[in-house]
Protein backbone atom coordinates (compact mmCIF):
# COMPACT_ATOMS: atom_id res chain seq x y z
CA UNK A 1 0.00 0.00 0.00
CA UNK A 2 0.94 3.64 -0.08
CA UNK A 3 3.54 4.69 2.44
CA UNK A 4 3.95 7.87 4.36
CA UNK A 5 7.51 8.56 5.38
CA UNK A 6 7.46 10.27 8.73
CA UNK A 7 10.58 11.75 10.25
CA UNK A 8 12.29 11.85 12.54
CA UNK A 9 11.48 8.52 14.15
CA UNK A 10 12.27 9.95 17.57
CA UNK A 11 13.33 13.21 19.15
CA UNK A 12 14.82 14.06 22.53
CA UNK A 13 14.53 17.73 23.39
CA UNK A 14 14.71 20.06 26.35
CA UNK A 15 11.62 21.74 27.73
CA UNK A 16 11.09 25.07 26.02
CA UNK A 17 12.58 24.05 22.69
CA UNK A 18 10.69 24.09 19.41
CA UNK A 19 10.06 20.85 17.53
CA UNK A 20 9.53 20.08 13.86
CA UNK A 21 8.47 16.85 12.24
CA UNK A 22 7.22 16.00 8.79
CA UNK A 23 5.61 13.44 6.53
CA UNK A 24 6.39 12.95 2.89
CA UNK A 25 5.12 10.72 0.14
CA UNK A 26 5.61 10.14 -3.53
CA UNK A 27 1.82 10.33 -3.94
CA UNK A 28 -0.63 13.21 -3.79
CA UNK A 29 -2.87 13.53 -0.74
CA UNK A 30 -6.15 15.42 -0.48
CA UNK A 31 -6.17 15.68 3.29
CA UNK A 32 -3.57 15.64 6.03
CA UNK A 33 -4.28 14.98 9.68
CA UNK A 34 -1.98 15.06 12.69
CA UNK A 35 -2.64 12.91 15.75
CA UNK A 36 -0.95 12.46 19.12
CA UNK A 37 -0.99 9.17 20.98
CA UNK A 38 -0.15 8.73 24.65
CA UNK A 39 0.91 5.29 25.93
CA UNK A 40 -2.01 2.90 26.21
CA UNK A 41 -4.49 5.33 24.70
CA UNK A 42 -6.02 6.03 21.34
CA UNK A 43 -4.72 8.69 18.94
CA UNK A 44 -6.13 12.17 19.55
CA UNK A 45 -6.75 14.45 16.59
CA UNK A 46 -4.65 17.62 16.77
CA UNK A 47 -5.01 19.35 13.42
CA UNK A 48 -6.76 18.67 10.11
CA UNK A 49 -5.62 20.23 6.80
CA UNK A 50 -7.69 20.23 3.63
CA UNK A 51 -6.06 22.58 1.13
CA UNK A 52 -2.59 22.77 -0.39
CA UNK A 53 -0.61 25.51 1.30
CA UNK A 54 -2.99 25.66 4.27
CA UNK A 55 -1.37 26.64 7.56
CA UNK A 56 -3.37 25.86 10.69
CA UNK A 57 -2.62 26.39 14.36
CA UNK A 58 -3.94 24.75 17.50
CA UNK A 59 -2.37 26.47 20.49
CA UNK A 60 1.37 25.87 20.35
CA UNK A 61 0.96 23.49 17.42
CA UNK A 62 1.14 24.59 13.80
CA UNK A 63 0.77 22.34 10.79
CA UNK A 64 1.05 22.98 7.09
CA UNK A 65 -0.26 21.18 4.03
CA UNK A 66 2.60 21.19 1.54
CA UNK A 67 2.20 23.02 -1.77
CA UNK A 68 3.01 19.88 -3.75
CA UNK A 69 0.32 18.00 -1.74
CA UNK A 70 2.90 15.30 -1.08
CA UNK A 71 3.99 16.46 2.35
CA UNK A 72 2.96 18.02 5.61
CA UNK A 73 4.77 19.54 8.57
CA UNK A 74 3.97 19.83 12.27
CA UNK A 75 5.72 22.31 14.53
CA UNK A 76 5.42 22.49 18.29
CA UNK A 77 6.66 25.66 19.93
CA UNK A 78 7.96 26.05 23.47
CA UNK A 79 7.61 22.35 24.30
CA UNK A 80 6.42 21.24 27.73
CA UNK A 81 6.66 17.84 29.44
CA UNK A 82 3.08 16.89 28.56
CA UNK A 83 3.98 17.09 24.87
CA UNK A 84 5.63 13.70 25.32
CA UNK A 85 4.03 11.04 23.13
CA UNK A 86 3.92 9.66 19.63
CA UNK A 87 2.84 11.99 16.86
CA UNK A 88 1.30 10.49 13.73
CA UNK A 89 0.57 12.03 10.41
CA UNK A 90 -2.30 10.59 8.40
CA UNK A 91 -3.34 11.33 4.88
CA UNK A 92 -6.25 10.66 2.61
CA UNK A 93 -4.76 9.60 -0.67
CA UNK A 94 -6.28 11.11 -3.79
CA UNK A 95 -8.75 8.58 -5.14
CA UNK A 96 -8.84 6.41 -2.03
CA UNK A 97 -12.18 7.65 -0.71
CA UNK A 98 -12.45 6.99 2.99
CA UNK A 99 -9.19 5.29 3.81
CA UNK A 100 -6.54 7.06 5.86
CA UNK A 101 -2.89 6.09 5.54
CA UNK A 102 -0.80 6.63 8.67
CA UNK A 103 2.88 7.39 9.08
CA UNK A 104 4.88 5.27 11.52
CA UNK A 105 5.03 8.05 14.08
CA UNK A 106 7.54 10.33 15.76
CA UNK A 107 8.30 9.57 19.41
CA UNK A 108 8.84 12.84 21.26
CA UNK A 109 10.60 12.94 24.61
CA UNK A 110 10.81 16.24 26.48
CA UNK A 111 13.33 16.58 29.26
CA UNK A 112 12.19 18.98 31.99
CA UNK B 1 -12.33 11.72 26.05
CA UNK B 2 -13.17 11.29 22.35
CA UNK B 3 -16.67 9.94 23.03
CA UNK B 4 -15.82 6.64 21.33
CA UNK B 5 -15.98 3.65 23.66
CA UNK B 6 -14.41 0.26 23.21
CA UNK B 7 -14.69 -2.95 25.22
CA UNK B 8 -12.92 -4.85 26.52
CA UNK B 9 -9.77 -2.87 27.26
CA UNK B 10 -7.62 -5.99 27.48
CA UNK B 11 -8.15 -9.48 26.12
CA UNK B 12 -5.91 -12.50 26.54
CA UNK B 13 -6.73 -15.63 24.63
CA UNK B 14 -5.14 -18.69 23.08
CA UNK B 15 -4.26 -19.48 19.50
CA UNK B 16 -7.15 -20.86 17.50
CA UNK B 17 -9.76 -19.04 19.53
CA UNK B 18 -12.32 -16.47 18.44
CA UNK B 19 -12.94 -13.08 20.05
CA UNK B 20 -15.30 -10.16 19.54
CA UNK B 21 -14.32 -6.55 20.08
CA UNK B 22 -17.02 -3.94 20.58
CA UNK B 23 -17.15 -0.26 19.68
CA UNK B 24 -19.70 2.48 20.26
CA UNK B 25 -19.14 5.59 18.12
CA UNK B 26 -19.57 9.18 19.23
CA UNK B 27 -23.16 10.22 19.53
CA UNK B 28 -24.46 11.07 16.07
CA UNK B 29 -21.51 9.63 14.14
CA UNK B 30 -22.53 7.27 11.37
CA UNK B 31 -19.12 6.01 10.24
CA UNK B 32 -17.04 3.50 12.16
CA UNK B 33 -13.51 2.50 11.25
CA UNK B 34 -11.39 -0.34 12.63
CA UNK B 35 -7.60 -0.20 12.84
CA UNK B 36 -4.90 -2.58 13.97
CA UNK B 37 -1.75 -1.19 15.58
CA UNK B 38 1.33 -3.33 16.00
CA UNK B 39 4.91 -2.34 16.69
CA UNK B 40 6.23 -3.33 13.29
CA UNK B 41 3.28 -2.30 11.10
CA UNK B 42 2.04 0.87 12.74
CA UNK B 43 -1.63 1.82 12.37
CA UNK B 44 -3.28 -0.24 9.65
CA UNK B 45 -6.78 0.44 8.40
CA UNK B 46 -8.94 -2.67 8.46
CA UNK B 47 -12.50 -1.79 7.49
CA UNK B 48 -15.10 0.98 7.49
CA UNK B 49 -18.86 0.91 7.98
CA UNK B 50 -21.29 3.71 7.32
CA UNK B 51 -24.80 3.54 8.72
CA UNK B 52 -24.72 -0.25 8.80
CA UNK B 53 -23.12 -0.84 5.41
CA UNK B 54 -19.55 -1.79 4.63
CA UNK B 55 -17.90 1.07 2.72
CA UNK B 56 -14.19 0.39 2.51
CA UNK B 57 -11.81 -2.45 3.18
CA UNK B 58 -8.16 -2.25 3.97
CA UNK B 59 -5.70 -4.87 5.07
CA UNK B 60 -8.26 -7.08 6.77
CA UNK B 61 -7.62 -10.79 6.90
CA UNK B 62 -10.29 -13.26 5.85
CA UNK B 63 -10.30 -14.59 9.42
CA UNK B 64 -11.53 -11.17 10.55
CA UNK B 65 -14.99 -9.77 10.00
CA UNK B 66 -16.98 -6.83 11.25
CA UNK B 67 -20.49 -5.49 11.28
CA UNK B 68 -22.33 -2.35 12.30
CA UNK B 69 -25.70 -2.70 13.98
CA UNK B 70 -28.84 -0.53 13.69
CA UNK B 71 -27.89 1.33 16.87
CA UNK B 72 -24.57 2.11 15.10
CA UNK B 73 -22.33 0.18 17.44
CA UNK B 74 -19.86 -2.08 15.70
CA UNK B 75 -18.19 -5.39 16.42
CA UNK B 76 -14.94 -6.77 15.07
CA UNK B 77 -14.74 -10.56 15.09
CA UNK B 78 -11.34 -12.22 15.00
CA UNK B 79 -11.24 -15.99 14.53
CA UNK B 80 -8.63 -18.75 14.32
CA UNK B 81 -6.34 -16.42 16.20
CA UNK B 82 -2.60 -16.57 15.65
CA UNK B 83 0.25 -15.20 17.72
CA UNK B 84 0.77 -12.49 15.12
CA UNK B 85 -2.73 -11.14 15.74
CA UNK B 86 -1.58 -9.75 19.07
CA UNK B 87 -1.94 -6.00 18.72
CA UNK B 88 -3.92 -2.97 19.73
CA UNK B 89 -7.25 -2.69 17.93
CA UNK B 90 -8.76 0.75 17.63
CA UNK B 91 -12.16 1.88 16.57
CA UNK B 92 -12.67 5.39 15.24
CA UNK B 93 -15.78 7.26 14.22
CA UNK B 94 -16.60 10.24 12.08
CA UNK B 95 -19.70 12.30 11.53
CA UNK B 96 -20.36 11.51 7.93
CA UNK B 97 -19.26 9.21 5.18
CA UNK B 98 -15.85 10.21 3.96
CA UNK B 99 -15.23 12.70 6.75
CA UNK B 100 -11.54 12.62 7.36
CA UNK B 101 -11.60 13.82 10.94
CA UNK B 102 -11.73 10.50 12.70
CA UNK B 103 -11.98 10.26 16.48
CA UNK B 104 -10.40 7.24 18.09
CA UNK B 105 -11.48 5.12 21.02
CA UNK B 106 -9.10 3.95 23.77
CA UNK B 107 -8.43 0.63 22.04
CA UNK B 108 -8.51 -3.05 22.93
CA UNK B 109 -5.19 -4.73 23.61
CA UNK B 110 -5.36 -8.31 22.34
CA UNK B 111 -2.76 -10.79 23.46
CA UNK B 112 -2.76 -14.22 21.83
CA UNK B 113 -0.73 -16.84 23.70
pLDDT at B15: 98
What gap in Å lies between CA B65 and CA B55, rounded to an integer?
13
Beta bridge partners of A100: A92
Task: Say yes or no for a CB contact (<8 Å) between B43 and A1.
Answer: no
Interface A–B counts its CB contacts (< 8 A) at: 62
pLDDT at B99: 67
The closest alpha carbon to B42, from A90, A20, A25, belongs to A90
pLDDT at B16: 97
How is residue B70 annotated by DSSP?
Answer: T
Task: Say yes or no for a CB contact (<8 Å) between B107 and A41.
Answer: yes
**Phi, psi (5° rounding) for residue B84?**
-70, -10
Task: Say yes or no for a CB contact (<8 Å) between B103 and A102.
Answer: no
pLDDT at A83: 96
Residue B41: pLDDT band with limits 50, 70, 90: confident
Region B34-48 average pLDDT: 88
Please tell me which residue of chain B has the smallest CA distance to A4.
Answer: B42
Task: Say yes or no for a CB contact (<8 Å) between A42 and B101.
Answer: no
Q: How far is CA A60 from CA A16, A19, A106, B21, B59, in A?
A: 11, 10, 17, 36, 35
Q: Encode pLDDT of B51-109 as tens digits.
A: 999 998 988 999 999 999 999 999 999 999 999 999 999 999 998 776 678 999 999 99
Mutant choice from B42, B87, B105, B111 vs A, greatest count of A C-beta within 10 A: B42
pLDDT at A93: 82
Please tell me which residue of chain A has the smallest CA distance to B106.
Answer: A42
What gap in Å lies between CA B69 and CA B49, rounded to an integer?
10
How does pLDDT run along chain A (112 residues), one tens digit per residue? Answer: 557 899 999 999 999 999 999 999 999 998 999 999 998 889 999 999 999 999 999 999 999 999 999 999 999 999 999 999 999 999 988 776 667 889 999 999 999 9
Amino acid sequence: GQQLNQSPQSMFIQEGEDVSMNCTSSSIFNTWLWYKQDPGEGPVLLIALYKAGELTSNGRLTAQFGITRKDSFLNISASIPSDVGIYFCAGQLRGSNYKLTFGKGTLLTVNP
Amino acid sequence: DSGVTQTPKHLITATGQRVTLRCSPRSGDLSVYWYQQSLDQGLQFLIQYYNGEERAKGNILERFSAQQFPDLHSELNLSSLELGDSALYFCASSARQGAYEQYFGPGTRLTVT
